[in-house]
Amino acid sequence: MHRSRLFRKYVQFCAVVTERLLYRLVMRHRSYQTQVGCSVEATLEVIGGKWKGAILYHLLDGTKRFNELKRMFPSLTQRILAQQLRELERDGIVHREVYAEVPPRVEYSPSEMGRSLEPVLRALRQWGADHVNAVMTNREEFSGNQLSRKQQSKPQRRS
């Protein structure tokens, strides 16, 4: 195959993948009024993700600057933190205050709607504290069972 033909196929593939991703991002939920359990789904979409709940939980203690939040989560990249904060701001959960100073100062705090999630976040924290050991044990057992199933399903070699 010529390079130009491979390149065209690659461009077509990228276009299809991009179109599907954009469709999922934009069209995921225009309305939550048609399905049973939609309010739970809407809530999870707003506070779901790996970091949003933890970020929100720490903001309940008070206003934080970007670098303060960054120090709280050493494994969280600056890009992802900014993205998560933007999404929380977009959904009205976090308030972002920009001060006209040099260098610019930006502070984040929970909005009134964000504060209304406090009992939910505290309940999630308590559930995690109560069940984290059991979950880890279950995961280890499950992994061990999966490994033994794979070993049992392999055909035995004859010498």
Complete DSSP assignment for 85-134: HHHHHHTTSEEEEEE--SS-EEEEEE-HHHHTTHHHHHHHHHHHHHHHHH
Whole-number pLDDT of residue 27: 41
The low-confidence residues of the chain, meaning pLDDT below 50, are 22-27
pLDDT, position 77: 94
Beta-carbon neighbour count of residue 121 at 10 Å? Answer: 19
**What residue segments make up the domains of the chain, in order of their start?**
1-30, 31-144
Strand 64-65 to 94-99 pairing: unpaired
Place of tokens 């390079």: 3
CATH of 31-144, one of 3.40.50.10420, 1.10.760.10, 1.10.10.10, 3.40.50.410: 1.10.10.10
Which pLDDT does position 71 carry in this prediction? Answer: 95
Instruction: State the pLDDT at residue 149.
Output: 72
Rounded to 5 degrees, φ, ψ at 7 are -65, -45
User: Phi and psi of 108, rounded to 5°?
Assistant: -120, 140
pLDDT at 23: 47
Q: What pLDDT shows up at residue 79?
A: 94
pLDDT digits (tens, 9 = 90+) for 84-124: 999 999 999 999 999 998 888 999 999 999 999 999 999 99
Give the model's pLDDT for residue 104. Answer: 87
